[in-house]
Amino acid sequence: MKNRAKYRNSQAEEFKKNFPECIVEKTTIASFVKFNFDFLDVNQTDAGFDSLESLDDKNRLMLLEKIKEFSGGTRFDWESDKRLVIYENIPKGSKAKHPKHVPSDVSWARFRLEGGFRLIGFFIPNCLDKKSYKLSGREYLFDRNTFYVVFLDPNHNFYPCKN
């Protein structure tokens, strides 16, 4: 019997060692929160909502770190530990005005980041989850785990605390 080590293929062994262990269908990827910034409204700065550009480096880094953290869990994980709250509408007393480019039937929500900093946005209504729609001849599915960011709220103006 010949020595098998003589016929080793180190490149193939390295490839196998680094090859992913699973496929998408065998992961929990669909349950993770996804973030979309297409609805970000920077026209309400007078009400205390910021743009990405106006945040200082410390807050921009904190925002990115929190989004990464929240992306690693489900919407229900964050709701159960109270870092995510879902509202039917914009709360009374809020300094926010419903932007024209945001659909009227969304579920408003906020993520609590750090201190008084909140990330405000919406989820699609649960009844639309996994429903299909067509756009430009292609079919898409609504996903209730996508959080559409509308306001960067460093001073808790969306749902101000009562003193």
Q: How confident is the model at residue 1 (pLDDT cuts 50, 70, 90)?
A: low
Please enumerate, as own/partner, the contacts of 65-74 that have beta carbons within 8 Å and a separation of 24 or more: 66/111, 66/113, 66/114, 66/119, 67/35, 67/119, 70/33, 70/35, 70/111, 70/147, 71/32, 71/33, 71/34, 71/35, 72/32, 73/32, 73/33, 74/31, 74/32, 74/33, 74/145
- Contacts for 42 with CB less than 8 Å, ≥ 6 apart: 49, 50, 51
**Percent share of the chain, pLDDT over 90:** 79
Q: Which of 14-18, 66-70, 140-144 has the lowest mean pLDDT?
A: 14-18
Mean pLDDT taken over the chain: 92
Helix%, strand%, coil% for the chain, nearest 5: 30, 25, 50
Instruction: Dig out the tokens for 103 from the structure.
Output: 């659909």
Query: Amino acid identity of 22?
Result: C
Average pLDDT over residues 43-54: 95
Determine contact, residues 84/37, Cβ cutoff 8 Å: no
- Residue with the two structure tokens 């921009």: 60
Burial class from Cβ neighbours inside 10 Å (0-12, 13-18, 19+) for residue 98 reads: middle
What pLDDT, on the 0 to 100 scale, is given for residue 20? 81
More confident residue, 70 or 11: 70
Distance CA 34, CA 24 (A): 16
**Residues sharing a CB contact under 8 Å with residue 93, sequence separation 6 or more, in sequence order:** 159, 160, 162
Banded pLDDT at 7 (limits 50, 70, 90): confident
Going by pLDDT thresholds of 50, 70 and 90, the confidence category of residue 9 is confident
